[in-house]
Amino acid sequence: MPVITFIEHNGTEHRVEAPVGSTAMQAAVNNGVPGVLADCGGSCSCATCHGYVDEMWTGSLSSAKADELDMLGGALDMKHNSRLTCQILLTAAMDGLIIRLPESQI
Amino acid sequence: MSNNPLIIVGAGHAGVEVSVAAREAGWNGEIVLISEEKHLPYHRPPLSKSYLAGETAVDTVVLKPASIYERAGIRLLLGNRVESIDRAARNVALSGGSELRYERLVLATGGRPRTLPISVLGAGQVRNLHYLRTLDDANRIKSQLIPGRRMVVVGGGYVGLELAALAVKAGLMVTVLEAAERVLARVTAQVVGDFYAKVHRAAGVTIETSQQVEGFELDSSGANIVAVRCSSGDLFPADLVVAGIGLVPNTELASAAGLTVADGVLVDEFARTSDPAIYATGDCTRYFSQLYQRSIRLESVPNALEQARTVAASLCGKQRRYDSVPWFWSDQYDLKLKMVGLSSGYDQVILRGDLSERSFSAFYLRGRRVLAADTVNRAPDFLVAKQLVGAAAEVDPSDLANPAISLRDLLPSPGRPPVQQPSVAR
Ligand SMILES: Cc1cc2nc3c(=O)[nH]c(=O)nc-3n(C[C@H](O)[C@H](O)[C@H](O)COP(=O)(O)OP(=O)(O)OC[C@H]3O[C@@H](n4cnc5c(N)ncnc54)[C@H](O)[C@@H]3O)c2cc1C
Ligand code: FES
């Protein structure tokens, strides 16, 4: 199972394991990572699962689809490496993925 | 842990969020989260969408895994109903006969489906009439969603239409019976309702409006509906019937305890009921909206969660007013609908975008004030609309309709960064 590291805005790291095929958002929620609210449960409707994908990884993830990009427009502090973690499907190759979290989701 | 118990009745979106957020906000005593349902608390929206369509497994609809409650020291009592509240003794009585003492109590009891009148039902219990609120309901419906069968959906609201969309995709023959003259009549303008009706018809759904359900024809055993009878005299054959005709808030517990209730447990901006030791949140509450200057009761996940966060803050002595902008989403086919605000009282509807391209927004105005908006496949419009509605912004209707003008430029203070929950009183 790939291991993902979420880094909260205050620097606290959370290393979590998650099954292939689940989403980065589920990995965060299932392990109680503070800072990923995921209000809509992953239907790409709320933008409260926003995270920044580490620069080393931005190239290896499939790019965001139109509705994700549209919703990201409403996330706080959007950056070039912003993603909605509910739209990141985990593969075996994503072992080691690092996602930093914004200061606030709402 | 010190013994200052927080008891939460109901473990839907609202109750679960209170439990976890209260712990995070510093509640250091016992937390007991009580649910009459047997399942780990779960998301309801997928029940009429991906879950019922079989696209989502049951473990992905769970709100949080059991380990989260354990880790946060939240005692989750499943399959337990709270039967009564003794406010003087600060006790709740459970269905099993035991009693629990509370320091603070939170009512997050949600609601139950409005049922068809007894006269419509006829005698006895039928096997193929369903309502959809719980995972058990969804599982029962799922077992009867068999390709080729005829399904009649009573009620052309969001839940009914979502059901119709997934059932027709699953190969059933679907008829929607709506009592009003059009679908989504209570919540959307004619253009939006008509657009949805057209999409559904194109997908193969039969939509019958101005049809009041009057009764059912049963088979010889009396246990199964074979047709739905309307007051028009029309008869609609059915192998399965699902009614989505609204929600009744679960307020009986509060009423019996003498709390102020009026189609919802009355709460203030800090989610406090008329008893200072008792809070309430979610679908079961009614409160005064500063934005609309009237009392409202909302049925939506964002409302349940945001109000729950206010309860958690209040419980821990932090000030956090709740008066956020109502919003809701509904996914049908490839259409992502997001609505913001309350449209009642509008005097004109301004369209932006293109119906034929399945990407448009309808703005509801009273005079120049933006009351609400429905956005279809236009998340960027939704995000700006949320700010326009939250700010009670006044706009020039012709600017709103003009695609050459950016919506952002219509915001009261142009260029300010997007805010997720613009609220008038925060
Ligand atoms: C099929 C469906 C689709 C939906 N789709 C959307 C959508 O797309 N977007 C959206 O925003 N909203 C949607 N909603 C609405 C949303 O699910 C609700 O607004 C939300 O679940 C409200 O949460 P709640 O915690 O207030 O109440 P509920 O989810 O109703 O939870 C209340 C819980 O309390 C329990 N309870 C009640 N009384 C007692 C008692 N005395 N003792 C113990 N337990 C008790 C109930 O059994 C229930 O489990 C949908 C709802 C349904 C049914
Ligand atoms: S969880 Fe709502 S957009 Fe990701």
Question: What would the DSSP string read from start to end of B139-177?
Answer: HHHHHT--TT-EEEEE--SHHHHHHHHHHHHTT-EEEEE
Q: Band of the pLDDT at B295, cuts 50, 70, 90?
A: very high
Q: Which ligand 2 atom minimizes the distance to the CA of A47?
A: 3
**pLDDT tens-digit map of B172-191:** 999 999 999 999 998 899 99
Output the CA angle B220-B226-B231, nearest 5 degrees.
115
Is A63 domain-assigned? yes
CB B208: neighbour CB atoms within 10 A?
A: 15
Share of chain B above pLDDT 70, in %: 96
Is A40 domain-assigned? yes
Q: Tell me what the mean pLDDT of segment B265-290 comes to.
A: 97
Q: Which residue has the least CA distance to atom 2 on ligand 1?
A: B45
Indicate the DSSP class of residue B64: S
Quick check: B124 pLDDT over 80?
Answer: no
Alpha carbon separation from B218 to B118, B154, B404 (Å, rounded): 15, 17, 58
Q: Band of the pLDDT at B2, cuts 50, 70, 90?
A: low
Is A105 domain-assigned? no
**Mean predicted lDDT score pLDDT of chain B:** 93
Is A43 domain-assigned? yes
Question: Residue B254 and residue B94: Cα distance in Å, rounded?
Answer: 15
The side-by-side arrangement of strands in the sheet containing A82-84 is A13-17, A3-7, A98-100, A50-53, A82-84
Prediction ipTM score? 0.93
Question: Residue B385 and residue B360: Cα distance in Å, rounded?
Answer: 13
Q: Which residue of chain A is at minimal alpha-carbon distance from B378?
A: A70
How many residues would you count in chain A? 106
Q: Tell me what the mean pLDDT of segment B343-349 comes to.
A: 95
Single out the residue of B223, B221, B228 nearest to residue B243, CA to CA: B228
| A positions 62-81 inside 8 Å of B (CB) | 67, 70-71, 73-76
Listed range (A60-69, B205-214, B365-374, B410-419) with the worst mean pLDDT: B410-419
Ligand nearest to the CA of B305: 1
Give the per-residue pLDDT at B419.
43
Select from A37, A49, A101 the residue to mutate for testing ligand 2; criterion: most ligand atoms less than 8 Å from CB: A49
Query: Which residues in chain A have their CB less than 8 angstroms from residue B305's CB?
Result: 37, 39
The domains found in chain B, sorted by start residue, are 6-110+250-316 (3.50.50.60), 114-246 (3.50.50.60), 334-410 (3.30.390.30)
Give the per-residue pLDDT at B421.
41
Shortest distance, CA B324 to any CA of chain A (angstroms): 11
Question: Residue B211 and residue B229: Cα distance in Å, rounded?
Answer: 9
**pLDDT tens-digit map of B54-99:** 988 888 899 999 999 999 999 999 999 999 999 999 999 999 999 9
Q: Tell me if B100 sits within 8 A of B92, measured CB to CB.
A: yes
Give the per-residue pLDDT at B309.
97
Both tokens of residue A95?
Answer: 């072992």
Q: Tell me what the mean pLDDT of segment B203-209 comes to.
A: 98
Indicate the DSSP class of residue B93: E
Q: Which residue has the least CA distance to atom 3 on ligand 2?
A: A44
Single out the residue of B266, B283, B211, B274 nearest to residue B243, CA to CA: B211
Quick check: B401 pLDDT over 70?
Answer: yes
Q: Is the CB of B41 under 6 A from ligand 1?
A: no
Question: Residue A102 and residue A28: Cα distance in Å, rounded?
Answer: 14
| Residues B420, A74: C-beta atoms closer than 8 Å | yes
Q: Tell me what the mean pLDDT of segment B333-342 comes to.
A: 95
Q: What residues make up the domain containing A25?
A: 3-100
Both tokens of residue B44?
Answer: 């309801």
Q: Tell me what the mean pLDDT of segment B337-346 comes to.
A: 96
Give the per-residue pLDDT at B208.
98
Quick check: B417 pLDDT over 60?
Answer: no
Question: Residue B64 and residue A53: Cα distance in Å, rounded?
Answer: 24
Give the per-residue pLDDT at A76.
81
Alpha carbon separation from B328 to A83, B7, B223, B362 (Å, rounded): 22, 28, 37, 15
Q: Say which residues have a Cβ less than 8 Å from residue A80's Cβ, sequence separation at least 6.
A: none
Ligand nearest to the CA of A70: 2
Both tokens of residue B294?
Answer: 């009237």
Q: Is the CB of B108 under 6 A from ligand 1?
A: yes
Using the mean position of ligand 1's atoms as its centre, give its distance from the Cα of residue B342 in Å: 20
Quick check: B426 pLDDT over 70?
Answer: no
Is A13 domain-assigned? yes
Q: How many domains does chain A have?
A: 1
Find the CB nearest A41 among B43, B377, B382: B43
Question: Residue A78 and residue A63: Cα distance in Å, rounded?
Answer: 16
Indicate the pTM of the whole model.
0.94
H or E stretch including A29? Answer: helix A24-30
The side-by-side arrangement of strands in the sheet containing B104-107 is B74-77, B31-34, B6-9, B104-107, B278-280
Give the per-residue pLDDT at B420.
42
Give the per-residue pLDDT at B59.
83
What CATH number does residue A55 fall under?
3.10.20.30
Q: Is the CB of A84 under 6 A from ligand 2?
A: yes
| C-alpha neighbours within 13 Å on the C-beta side of residue B3 | 2
Q: Band of the pLDDT at A60, cuts 50, 70, 90?
A: confident
Q: Tell me what the mean pLDDT of segment B350-360 comes to.
A: 95
Is A106 domain-assigned? no
Higher pLDDT, B417 or B249: B249
